[in-house]
Structure 1
Amino acid sequence: MGVASVITAALPTAPVLRSEWIKIRSARAVLGSLLAVFAATAGITVLTAAAIGTSEPGALGEDRLFGAFFGINFGQSAAVAFGATAFAAEFRGGALRVSLTAVPNRTRLYLSKAVAVAGLSFLVGQFTGLVTFVAGQAFMGEYALALGDPGTLRAVFGSGVYLTLIALLSAGLAALVRSGTLVMGLLIPFLLIVPFVVGQVMDGAGQFMPDRAGQLVMRAHAEGSLGPWSGLGVTALWTLAALAGGWLAVRRRDA
């Protein structure tokens, strides 16, 4: 069997993807965390803009474009929870054995879960990015940005991609360590706290952290040596490494 045949044999199929959607839809914690991505990002941004948006030009941050996504750090925590819980559900109560009975090809099962997480995260992320920007700027008065302003469309689209990558990063880590709780307990504080600790070393290794790099796509002015898309690319590399580690773990460990 050639390499192409092996790859084709492991690609997701419509029935497997449908079953993964059913799993996500029927698990309240998983579906709730996905909806929380929108609620946290858009809700916190709009509430903050309504409260202080017209007080001064930089009320939501010195970078006004990044300030338009003020709630992104809260939304990314929900994205971590979504990716982690979506994958970790397979490692509770022998669920993985049941899944492998239905889909014996472990690579196909893993890729199907990743595609389901990516697809739902991307759809919710894009909707979240657009609503967050438009609704938030509606409360900014004379300091509001428009969709036609330089960098705004890139930031709206990039914010959705960023949330997708964060969800997949946590999904890969959950598959690697077989614990959604552990991933959330480590990754959420890492993304929320560590950036403040390394904030003074942006010209060094700190700029290559997954959140710091990825969030450059939402900034009007890049920090450090990375640009908006190269920064998002760095986050994608972190995500690919986590997904690769999770795939190896699923292939080699007992169910």
Structure 2
Amino acid sequence: MRHATRVLRSEWTKLRSVRATRWTLIAAVLITAGLSALICVFTRADFDNMSRRSQATFDATYVSFTGMGIGQLAMMAFGVLVVSAEYSTGMIRSSLSAVPQRGLFLVCKVAVATGLVFVVGQITGFGTFYLGQWLLGSHSVGITEPGVLRAVVGAGLYMTLIGLFAMGLTFVLRSPVVSFIVLMPFFFIVSGILSSVGATQKIAHYLPDQAGTTIMAVVPQTLDRPYGPWGGLLIMVGWTAAALVAGYFVLRERDA
């Protein structure tokens, strides 16, 4: 137990010493809040021009999180940098010499990162929600309305899982460049293409971002998915767990 505590402290020290990780988390908050606020302003101005159907199914909560589609890029960058910084600097050799139990090493690194991104994710979720609702004015909703608190907390959980998924993938690929080359097309190109084609929409529904975002929707008509909000988040948890397990096996089998 004492050894695990020392490893956790060591990982926290390493995490704080990499300035880029700090800036990526700040960027995740600012980009998400900034873009969401801008979209809420435009939505409020154009609300009267929407069709009656669109007005009737308007999801003010989901609209306040629309900037998260770009903001998640910064959270991906955090996950990549937390892992790849050790490989690019060669520190991974010292880390594994000090902690030869590679499972313990990975668990402690992931635990420290999870705690940090969870806090940042919740700050992002609540801050973005309240800012967005203020800008939506008379079209806003309160956090006590059915499903809203779940969506706000879920937005933070989504951001947390994005960071952890990126960490798992980076443990597999080791290189920050290769990790970004895989992550960015997967989330920003492949997912969009599959979801826009009728023949592949059912497949797209089970991709991590497509499934995870359902937790942020309150109005059922907002997203057409064959599962509910918590079911979608559970699918994303499965993707994240698979990435971390794959990262563990690569870490265990390969030399630093």
TM-score, scaled relative to structure 1: 0.89
SS of the equivalent of 1:113 reads helix
Map Cα deviations across residues 150-208 of structure 1 (whole Å, 9 max, x no partner).
21101111111111111111100000011122112221232122232122447511100
| Pair 1:211-2:209 in alignment | yes
| Contact 1:36–1:78, Cα closer than 8 Å, also in 2 | yes
Task: For 1:155 and 1:218, locate their aligned partners in 2 and report how far apart those are by CA, in whole Å.
Answer: 4
CA contact (8 A) 1:203 1:224 kept: no
The code of the aligned residue for 2:114 comes to A
- Farther off after superposition, 48-57 or 62-71: 48-57
- Asked if residue 77 in structure 1 is aligned to residue 73 in structure 2, the reply is yes
Rounded Cα–Cα distance in structure 1 between residues aligned with 2:136 and 2:58: 14
- Among the aligned pairs, what percent are the same residue? 38
Residue 22 (structure 1) shift = 1.6
CA positional deviation for 1:42: 1.3
Deviation for aligned residue 1:14 = 2.4
- Cα distance in 2 for partners of 1:251, 1:183 equals 19
Which residue pairs with 1:55 in the alignment?
46
1:210, distance to aligned residue in structure 2 (A): 0.3
**Paired position in structure 2 for 1:134:** 130
Q: Which amino acid aligns with 1:214?
A: G
Is 1:169 aligned with 2:165? yes
Q: How does 1:172-183 map to 2 (within 5 A)?
A: 172-183=168-179
- How much has 1:52 moved relative to structure 2? 4.4
**What amino acid is the match of 2:23?**
G
Give secondary structure in 1 for the equivalent of 2:65. Answer: coil
Q: Which runs of 5+ in 2 are unaligned?
A: none
> What is the Cα deviation at residue 84 of structure 1?
0.8
The equivalent of 1:3 in structure 2 is none
Could you say which residue in structure 1 is the equivalent of 2:31? 40
User: What residue identity is the alignment partner of 1:239?
Assistant: T
- The 1-side partners of 2:98 and 2:34 are apart by 40
Match of residue 100, structure 2, among 87, 100, 104: 104
Cα deviation, residue 238, structure 1: 0.5
Using the alignment, how far apart are the partners of 2:109 and 2:68 within structure 1? 24
Relative to its length, the structure with more helix (as a share) is 2
1:172 and 1:246 in contact (8 A); partners too: yes
Q: Deviations over 1:18-77 (max 9, x none)?
A: 221221211111221122221111121123323543431669x95432111011111211
Give deviations 1:62-115, integer Å, cap 9, x for gaps.
543211101111121111111111011121232111112222211111111111
Contact residue 159 and residue 218 of structure 1 kept, 8 A? yes
Aligned residues: 246
Instruction: Give the stretch that moved more between structures: 210-219 or 49-58.
Output: 49-58
Partner of 1:5: none
Q: 2:89 aligns with which of 89, 93, 117?
A: 93
Equivalent-residue separation in structure 2 for 1:245 and 1:184 (angstroms): 17
Check the 8 A contact 1:54/1:141 in 2, yes or no: no
Give the conservation status (yes or no) of the 8 Å contact 1:54–1:139: no
Which residue of the partner structure matches residue 26 of structure 1? 17
Corresponding residue number in structure 1 for 2:5: 14
Q: Superposed, which structure 2 residues align to 1:194-209 within 5 Å?
A: 194-199=190-195, 200-201=197-198, 204-209=202-207
**One-letter code aligned to 2:205:** Q
CA separation in 1, counterparts of 2:201 and 2:193? 14
CA distance in 2, matches of 1:130, 1:35: 15
Distance 2:59 2:181 in 1: 30
> Contact conserved, 2:15 with 2:82, CA < 8 A, in 1?
yes
2:253 matched to which residue of 1?
252
Determine which of 153, 156, 159 is the counterpart of 1:157. Answer: 153
In structure 2, what is the Cα distance between the partners aligned to 1:195 and 1:94?
Answer: 34
